[in-house]
Structure 1
Amino acid sequence: MLKKLSYTILFALTLSSCSDTLDDINKNPNATETPLAPYLLTGTLKQGADLYWGDANNFNSTLLFVQHWAKIQYTEPDRYDVSNTSFTALWDKGYSTLITDLNTILKFPDAQANSNYKGIALTLRSWTFLLLTDAYGNIPYKEAGQKVTPAYNTQKEVYTGLLEDLKQAQSLLNPANGSVTGDLAYKGDILKWKKLVNSLRLRIALRISDKEPVLAKQAAIDATSDAGGLISSNSETFQFVYTSSPQQNPASAWFETRDDFRISKTMVDQLYALSDPRLPVFAQLPSDASVGKYVGGANGLSNSDANSQGFAKTSKPGTYFLTSASPAVIASYSETLFNLAEAAARGYISGDAEQYYKNAITASLNQFGITNAATISTYLDQASVKYDASNYAKSIGTQKWIAFFGQGLDAFTEWRRLDYPVLTAGPATVLDGKLPSRLFYPGTEQSLNGVSYQAAVADQGKDLLTTKLWFDAK
C-alpha cells in the first residue's frame, strides 16, 4: 500500500512539473501581462473609425437611408428589405470591443493611465454611446459592462448622462497631467481633445433641443463658454487617417473587389441644382465617356431596374472617398459651425446665425479642397443657398446633409432631427412609402437580454425601422 501511494505522489509531482514547464514554454515573451493604455487607445480609434465608416453602419445602410449613395445591384438594403440580423455590427462591436476597452482604460490605476488617457477614453466612450442611442434609441448605458443582462436606459437618460460624462472628461483633460501616446487622431494634443469634448456637448445639446429646450440651452451655453473652446479649423477636425492596405479606408477596400454602389441621384440632382462645386469631389464621371456628365443612381429600385441604369453610365462615389488613405471624418469643423448657427437661431447663444451658416458652408467647401474665394462667394450668393432665417431648419438641414456626405450615421440622425431635405422612398421599398427612422435591435437581444429588451420596446414602441425615437418624435 505504501509503495502504491509513493507511485501516486511521484506521478502527481511529475504531472505538476510538466504542466509548469508547458506553461513556461507557451508564454509569449513579447506579450504584456496586462493591456497597455496606448495600445488600447490606438485599437479603439482604428476600430471605431472602421465601424463608423465601414459597410454595415455606413454605405450599406445609413448612406442609403439618407440618399447619399444608392445600390446598383444587390438592392435589398436600399429597399429596406432587412432584418434584425442586419444591424448587429454597431451594437456588437460598440459594446464588446469599444466600450469594453475604454472601460479598461478608465479602471487603470493612475500609474498605468494618467488622467489624460482617462479623459480621452471617457470622450470616446461617450461618442460610442451617442452613436448607439442615435441609431437604436433606448440602450444599455448605466449598466453596460457591469451586468450580463443590463437594463436599457431611455434615450433622454442617455443623452443627459453623456452631457455629464463629457463634463467629467473635460475636467480630466489637462496638458500638465502627462503625455499620451497611441493617439492616431490628435497625436496626443490634449487641447484638441478638449475642443472635441465641447463640440460633442454642443452636438448633444441640439439632439435634445426639440424635447428639452431648457436643458438644451444650458448645455449649449456650457459647451460654447467653456475655456477649452470648440473645434475651430479644419485642421482640428476629429478624423482617423488611413494609410495603405491592410490599414486602408474600408470603402476603398470594398471597391477593390466589388461594384455595387453609386452616388445617389438625389444628391447629384441637388448638387447640380445648386451649381455646387463639391459635385466633382463627391462623384466620378461615368466610365462611358459618351455620357459626359455626372449621373446618380436612383434609390429603392428592384435589382433589375437598378442594373438597367447601366454600370458604365452611372457615377461611382468620388475618388476622394475611395483611396486607401481617405480619412474617416467623425466630427468636422463644418458641423461645429452648423451647430453654432442653429444654437444662435434658436436663441440659445449669442451670435449671427447667418454668418455661422456661411462659415459652415465655407468650411465644408475647404474641407473638400475648394478654396477659391470667388468660387465660394458665387456659391454663397445664390438665392437657393442664402440663409433663410424664417426656416433655419431647411437652410441648415439641407447644407448639413450635403456637408455630411459619407458620414452616414450622423447624416441619418441630423436628417431625422431637422427633417430636411425632404426625401422620398424609392418605388420598390417595403415600408409603405416611409423611410427608416432607426435601426432594429440585434435579434440576439431578444434571446440573451429578453427582459430588458421587452421593457425597452414597451417604453419606446415596436422594434420596427419606422418607430420614431425620442429625439425625433415631434
Structure 2
Amino acid sequence: MSGCTNGFDEMNRTSTALTKSQVLPNSLLVRSMWKGVSADYQRNYNLYDDQYAHYFSNCVASFPTGYYEYNDGWAQCGWQAFYTERQKEYLDIKDICSTTEMYTNLLAINDIWNIILWLRVTDRWGDVPYKDANGHYATATASPIAYNSQKDIYIDMMSRLDKAASSITTASSQFDLGTEDLVYGGNSNIDKWKKLAYSVMLRMAIRIANVDPVDAKNYAAKAVSGGVMASIDDDARIKCDVSRWEDYYDRLSGDWANTTTDKEFMEFMAGTKTGYVTNAVDPRRSMWFSSGTKGYVGFPNGITASSPSYTGFLWSDYAEINEHNTKGFFYYNRDDISNSHLSYPIMDYSEVCFLKAEAALRGYIGGNAEDYYKNGITASVNSVAKVSGVSDLQDADITNYINSLPPFTGNNEAKLRLICIQEWIALYPNAQEGWSLLRRSGYPENLTCPTASSSALVNDGNWIQRIAYPNNEYENNNKNIPSNFQSSSSNYAKREQYGVWWSLAGDGKTYAKGTTPANNF
C-alpha cells in the first residue's frame, strides 16, 4: 500500500463513484461489519493471532508462522483490506450521512465500529498511517503515507469513542439499521452501542496503563462513568452465516483440518497447567471443545516443520472445537442456519469485569478488585453457556470452579496475574485481544515460547511482539516507516521481536522467554 501525507479523504474519491443519492449507507455499514471480521480469516488471523494468543495450534507442517517466520502474502491481506476497503466504507458513510440529522446514530455506530477495526490494526503493527495534519484519515492512495505514533492514535481514538457515545440518541426519528446492525440488531438496542463504545475505551485505557498511567486513569474513569457493559446481554458478537464461505471455524478445524486446540490452553482447561494447578475441570471445557481420541488434549503450539510431533500426526487425536454437539459453543449446522452457534467475538461483558478488576487494583475506579474478578469468571461461564444453548448449568458449578482457583492474595502483581490469566481464558476465542493481553501484561507467564526457525523475524528465545509491515510498504513507503524498522535499520532482520508502544517489553524492546513480568504499579 502507498499513500499521501495530506488530503487522505479527498484522494480516496473517484469521479466514477456513485452519488450520495445512489448509495444506501446501511449497505456500506453492513459490509464493513461483515467483512471487517470475516474477510480472509485464515490468512488474516488464524495463521497469526490465533496461534500467538496460544488458543489454536497449526497442524500443517508447511505453514511457518507458528514458529515465527513471516509470510507477506498472508500478513498483507489484512492491512490491504483495511486501508482499501474498510476505510473507504467508513469515509463514504461519513460523506453520505454527515449533514442528515436522522443519521446521527448511524454515524456514531460507524465511528465506533471503525475504531474497533483500527484497534486491531495498530495493536498488530504499532505505529501506522492514521491521519494527516489536517485531520483526514488514511486510506489507500497513490503517494507515500505518513505514519502516526501509536500513542497519538490511541488518544485520538478514545476521544472519538467519547464523542460517538455522547452523540447517541433514543429519538424515534433516527434511521433504524434493523437486522443490518449485525452486532445489536438496530434501534431497539441502541443503548448497547453506547455501552460498547465506553467498554472499548476501558479496554484501551487499561492496555496503556503501564506506559501512560495518567491518560489510562482518566479514560478508565471516563469509560466507567459513561456506562460500560452491565451484563452478558450486552455482549457484542456477529453471528456467522454458515451458508457462506466465511464459516471460518468449520473450514479451518473441520473441512481443512488445518488447526486444532492449543496444548497448553487445554491444560488450563483441565486444571493441570504447571504454575496454575487447580485440579478442577473448567466448566467451559465441554461447551468449547469436544475430545479427540487422546481425550481433551491439544497439539503443541509453534513447533517447527521438522519436529517429530508431526510424525504420524492424526488430527482426530486432538481436542477440537465443539461444532457437532447442539450444546457446543461452535455448533455448526448448514441445514439449519438459525440453530448454529458460530459467531465472531467483538467484546464480552466478562472482559469488562476483568478490566474493572485491574482498574480497581490500580486505583483508577472504586469497587473491589476481587469482586470484579469473580464477576468476570461468572460472566464468562454464563456467556459461554448462553451461546452454547446450555440451560442446565448450575451456580454451584461456577462457585466450585472459582473456589478451586489460587487465592486472590499477595501484592498487586500477584493479583494482576490472577486477573489476567482468567481474562485470557475468558477472551477465547478472541485471539486479537488474547495476544494483546499476553504482550501488555506478560500473563500467563508459564506458556511455552515457540522455537524460532533460522528464517524467523524473531531471535530464538524471544517472544513475538508485532507483525512486520507488508513488503510493499518497504518498497513504496520506506522513508515514512518508523526509523527503527526501516530496511536499513539494525532491527530490520528480526523486526517482529520488538514491542509496540504499550508492550510490557517496552516500545521497541525485546521480551525473552522466562522473563518475570513486572507491571507498572
Please, what TM-score do these two structures have when normalized by structure 1? 0.86
Shift, 1:447, TM fit: 1.9
- Cα deviations by residue, 1:388-408 (Å, 9 ceiling, x for unpaired): 553222111111111111111
Match of 1:378 among 400, 423, 428: 400
Shift, 1:456, TM fit: 7.1
Aligned counterpart, 1:179: 175
Aligned counterpart, 1:99: 87
- Cα deviations by residue, 1:138-181 (Å, 9 ceiling, x for unpaired): 01111343664321100111101111111221232112161321
* Aligned Cα root-mean-square deviation (Å): 2.6
Give the secondary structure class of the aligned counterpart of 1:240.
Answer: strand
Please list every run of 5 or more consecutive structure 1 residues that lacks an aligned counterpart in the other structure.
Answer: 1-26
Amino acid at match of 1:194: K
Shift, 1:441, TM fit: 0.8
Alignment of 1:339-418 (within 5 A): 339-369=355-385, 371-384=393-406, 386=408, 390=412, 391-418=414-441
Match of 2:448 among 424, 436, 439: 424
Give the secondary structure class of the aligned counterpart of 1:368.
Answer: helix
* Contact 1:100/1:145, CA 8 A, preserved across alignment: no
Judged with a 3 Å threshold, the aligned counterparts in structure 2 of structure 1 residues 386 and 282 are, in CA distance, closer, same or farther, namely: farther
Judged with a 3 Å threshold, the aligned counterparts in structure 2 of structure 1 residues 312 and 385 are, in CA distance, closer, same or farther, namely: farther
Alignment of 1:65-144 (within 5 A): 65-74=52-61, 75-108=63-96, 109-111=98-100, 114-143=103-132, 144=137
* Contact 1:149/1:448, CA 8 A, preserved across alignment: yes
Give the secondary structure class of the aligned counterpart of 2:237.
Answer: strand
Question: 409-418 or 301-310: which moved more?
Answer: 301-310
Match of 1:170 among 147, 165, 173: 165
Judged with a 3 Å threshold, the aligned counterparts in structure 2 of structure 1 residues 456 and 102 are, in CA distance, closer, same or farther, namely: farther
In 2: Cα distance, 1:101 partner to 1:458 partner: 30
Judged with a 3 Å threshold, the aligned counterparts in structure 2 of structure 1 residues 133 and 427 are, in CA distance, closer, same or farther, namely: closer
* Contact 2:65/2:71, CA 8 A, preserved across alignment: no
Shift, 1:111, TM fit: 3.3
Judged with a 3 Å threshold, the aligned counterparts in structure 2 of structure 1 residues 377 and 450 are, in CA distance, closer, same or farther, namely: same
Matched, 1:217 2:217: yes
* Contact 1:379/1:385, CA 8 A, preserved across alignment: no
- Cα deviations by residue, 1:264-299 (Å, 9 ceiling, x for unpaired): 11111122124212222332211x3xx4x2111011
Aligned counterpart, 1:200: 200
- Cα deviations by residue, 1:190-213 (Å, 9 ceiling, x for unpaired): 211100110011111112111111
Amino acid at match of 1:281: M
Please list every run of 5 or more consecutive structure 2 residues that lacks an aligned counterpart in the other structure.
Answer: 1-15, 272-277, 324-328, 334-339, 507-521
* Contact 2:240/2:246, CA 8 A, preserved across alignment: yes
Amino acid at match of 1:97: E
* Contact 1:80/1:436, CA 8 A, preserved across alignment: yes
Aligned counterpart, 2:3: none
Shift, 1:322, TM fit: 6.1
Give the secondary structure class of the aligned counterpart of 1:262.
Answer: strand
Amino acid at match of 1:253: R
Give the secondary structure class of the aligned counterpart of 2:398.
Answer: helix
Shift, 1:32, TM fit: 8.9
Larger Rg: 1
Judged with a 3 Å threshold, the aligned counterparts in structure 2 of structure 1 residues 126 and 32 are, in CA distance, closer, same or farther, namely: closer
In 2: Cα distance, 1:408 partner to 1:73 partner: 19
Give the secondary structure class of the aligned counterpart of 2:497.
Answer: coil
Shift, 1:316, TM fit: 2.0
In 1: Cα distance, 2:426 partner to 2:84 partner: 31
In 2: Cα distance, 1:67 partner to 1:253 partner: 19
Aligned counterpart, 2:302: 300
Shift, 1:454, TM fit: 5.0
In 2: Cα distance, 1:447 partner to 1:310 partner: 42
Match of 2:330 among 321, 326, 339: 321
Give the secondary structure class of the aligned counterpart of 1:365.
Answer: helix
In 1: Cα distance, 2:94 partner to 2:174 partner: 16
In 1: Cα distance, 2:223 partner to 2:83 partner: 27
Shift, 1:336, TM fit: 0.8
Shift, 1:387, TM fit: 6.1
Aligned counterpart, 1:465: 496
Equivalent pairs counted in the alignment come to 439
In 2: Cα distance, 1:385 partner to 1:149 partner: 54
* Contact 2:75/2:470, CA 8 A, preserved across alignment: yes
Judged with a 3 Å threshold, the aligned counterparts in structure 2 of structure 1 residues 454 and 337 are, in CA distance, closer, same or farther, namely: closer
Amino acid at match of 2:500: L
Alignment of 1:253-332 (within 5 A): 253-273=251-271, 274=278, 275=280, 276-286=282-292, 288=293, 291=294, 293-303=295-305, 305-308=308-311, 309-319=313-323, 320-321=329-330, 323=332, 325=340, 326-332=342-348
Shift, 1:453, TM fit: 1.9
* Contact 2:38/2:246, CA 8 A, preserved across alignment: no
Question: 193-202 or 309-318: which moved more?
Answer: 309-318
* Contact 2:147/2:482, CA 8 A, preserved across alignment: no
In 2: Cα distance, 1:99 partner to 1:356 partner: 36
Alignment of 1:137-152 (within 5 A): 137-143=126-132, 144-145=137-138, 148-152=143-147
In 2: Cα distance, 1:461 partner to 1:103 partner: 37
* Contact 2:43/2:77, CA 8 A, preserved across alignment: yes
